[in-house]
Chain A
Amino acid sequence: MTKFVIRRLLQTIPVLLGVSILVFSLMYLIPGDPAQIMAGEGASPQTVEQIREKLGLNEPAPVQYLKYMKNVVQGDLGNSVRSNRPVMDEIKARFWTTVQLSFYATILAVFLGLIAGIISAVRHYTWSDISIMIVALFGLSMPNFWFGLMLIQWFAIGPDWLPDFLKMRASGWGDDWRQLILPVITLGTGGAAIIARMTRASMLEVIGQDYIRTARAKGMGERVVVYRHALKNALIPVITVVGLEFGGFLGGAVLTESIFAINGMGRLTIDAIRTRDFPIVQGTVLIISFLFVFVNLLVDISYRLLNKRIDLN
């Protein structure tokens, strides 16, 4: 097991390096002069030159990359072109908001998805199964930003009897944790649909296996068979999806945050893209991807712990 963890850790190194190279190269993919674009159209040649100097764009690319990485390792992601503040500080202020949002969305998705998936599998080909699967299909096909807008329409600017925390204030995001409810539903619903479908498929496959038939033949109650025998094994493939979903939510938070005016990393990214503040874009993309790689690593390890039959070596 230790060997596996070490090997898996080592495997993430080339991925992280690759991510950093790609994120770094973003600046070079900009058609035209990045310094000019960041400075804006009406900028004086001096300002452009200043930005070029500040970002070290005069140096050869590999040198720039090495310098960039040296700083990244030390926790320095450069400075914002607009506010001149360190990118790391800008991210730090918003990091937990996004992680929190994604975390709760994951919990919601797992909770709803598992319940719906299990009901569907246990009662397969009945009306409850069919209705759950139709709802899941809709959940899967709905753009979450549109769903969020609909929720705002129904709740936030809807009837008076609704509690205040469900309503959107002009200022948007406040300190009340209950204001998380609508954004979490917005973000988590699509994931719940995916997990429900996955759980159903996985359960149905397990229920068809011999050991379940044996358990039933032994005269065990259906409840014990389903929850103690089938579910345990059916959940294993679902875990991988949960990890992917959490990552997807980190990325998807870009849209949710922009709808609910939540000041998280996603919104920071979008604002930075709009103002062509590339050091911030690079920083947020890098941090979110690193986090995603890390979460997948944890998922792989727990997958291994849970499923001893698989020999990943």
Chain B
Amino acid sequence: MVQHTPVAGIGQKRSSPRVEAYKAFWRRLSKNKAAVVGGVLILFFVLTGFIGPLLTTLDPYEPQISNKLKPPSAEHWFGTDNYGRDIFTRIIHGMSITMKVGFFSVALGGIVGVFFGIISGYYGGKLDTVIMRIMDVLLAFPGILLALAIVSVLGGSVQNMIIAVGVFSVPAFARIVRGSTLSVRKLEYIDAVKALGASDARIIFKHILPNVMSPIIVQLTLRIATAVLTASGLAFLGLGAKPPTPEWGAMLSEGRAYMQQAPHLVLFPGVAIVIVVLAFNIFGDGLRDALDPKMRK
């Protein structure tokens, strides 16, 4: 979506360039309606993840066989599952798992990937070749396969799901950050700080990292969407969080057997996944538009 950025008026009070840049970024971002909706939804999901489980009155684990497979009603908004558990309650409890897996796995992949990407781009040479070949190897496992292979050896649990999806996210970060680092490294001001005697670590953290932050932030957001999808896929295959954990992928997997008589068992957890992933995707798209210099014309 195109962003029309108002030009700062003459005579307007000017603050520091960095503050100005942030302000301009917020202006662009807040003009992108889809991104605002995505951002608000994400905040809502995070809040739900933290306090949602405290607000629900029903137990997400305790079976109530007499209540099983009830369709959606005023009492059970999303109906009940094959054990008579309230699906709405389970989805609310599942939110914290989804958020945890999304944020932690991408944080893990992001930290490792950014680290390797920056040193690869900054030092270049053999180190660069070795790191990038390793990333090529990780990228040679298509789609969910790498995460699947990792989980297959570590065993299924929320924690292992985070590790698997985290490793799966590493090469994407490394590649993007390496590319940005390469272009920043060649700029004159880097030569200038080097001439002033700054250490490599200082240059990397103080001068390169802040300048490659935009693509990292965009990637973080979009990767959370991918991470949530991947993790739910693993759980669906029975390789992630195990029942009775109210993980949405696991709920889908469990509900599948009852699809014919009680389609709400697979409908609602799926819709929950779609909405969360959608929110991160549109927020990421909006961030990219607001941060991409090409769009600032």
What does the 1/0 interface line of B1-24 toward A look like (CB < 8 Å)?
Answer: 010000000000000000000000
Q: Does B204 touch A at the CB level, under 8 Å?
A: no
Query: Which of chain B's residues have a CB closer than 8 A to the CB of A145?
Result: 233, 236, 252
Query: Which of chain A's residues have a CB closer than 8 A to the CB of B259?
Result: 149, 152-153, 157
Q: Which residue from chain A places its CB closest to the CB of B141 in the assembled complex?
A: A289
**Is the beta-carbon distance between A273 and B133 smaller than 8 angstroms?**
no
What does the 1/0 interface line of B38-67 toward A look like (CB < 8 Å)?
Answer: 000000000000000000000000000000
| Stretch of B118-126, B151-159, B184-192 contacting A (4+ beta carbons < 8 Å) | B151-159
Query: Which of chain A's residues have a CB closer than 8 A to the CB of B80?
Result: none
A153: shortest Cβ distance to chain B, in Å?
A: 6
Give the complex CA separation of A83 and B143 in angstroms. Answer: 28
Residues facing A in B144-195 (CB within 8 A) are 144-145, 148-150, 152-155
Give the complex CA separation of A248 and B140 in angstroms. Answer: 10
Contacts A141-B281, A153-B266; is A273 near B148 (CB within 8 Å)?
A: yes
Q: Does A4 touch B at the CB level, under 8 Å?
A: no
Give the complex CA separation of A273 and B282 in angstroms. Answer: 35
Residues facing B in A46-80 (CB within 8 A) are none
Q: Does A250 touch B at the CB level, under 8 Å?
A: yes
**Is the beta-carbon distance between A254 and B148 smaller than 8 angstroms?**
yes
Contacts A19-B137, A29-B153; is A251 near B144 (CB within 8 Å)?
A: yes
Residues facing B in A138-179 (CB within 8 A) are 138, 140-143, 145-146, 149-150, 152-153, 157
**Is the beta-carbon distance between A143 and B152 smaller than 8 angstroms?**
no
**Is the beta-carbon distance between B144 and A254 smaller than 8 angstroms?**
yes
Residues facing A in B242-297 (CB within 8 A) are 249, 252, 256, 259-260, 263, 266-267, 269-270, 273-274, 277-278, 281-282
B149, B225, B233, B266: the one within 8 Å of A281 (CB): B149
Q: A138-B278, A143-B232, A293-B140 are in contact. List 15 more A-B contacts (CB 8 A).
A: A15-B140, A19-B140, A143-B233, A149-B252, A149-B270, A152-B259, A157-B259, A157-B260, A254-B143, A254-B145, A281-B149, A285-B149, A288-B145, A289-B140, A289-B142
5 tightest A-B CB contacts, nearest first: A251-B143, A18-B137, A247-B142, A146-B270, A251-B142
| A-B contact list, 19 entries, CB within 8 Å | A15-B136, A23-B149, A31-B153, A31-B155, A141-B229, A141-B274, A142-B270, A143-B232, A143-B236, A143-B270, A146-B270, A149-B256, A157-B259, A157-B260, A247-B142, A251-B141, A285-B148, A292-B142, A293-B140
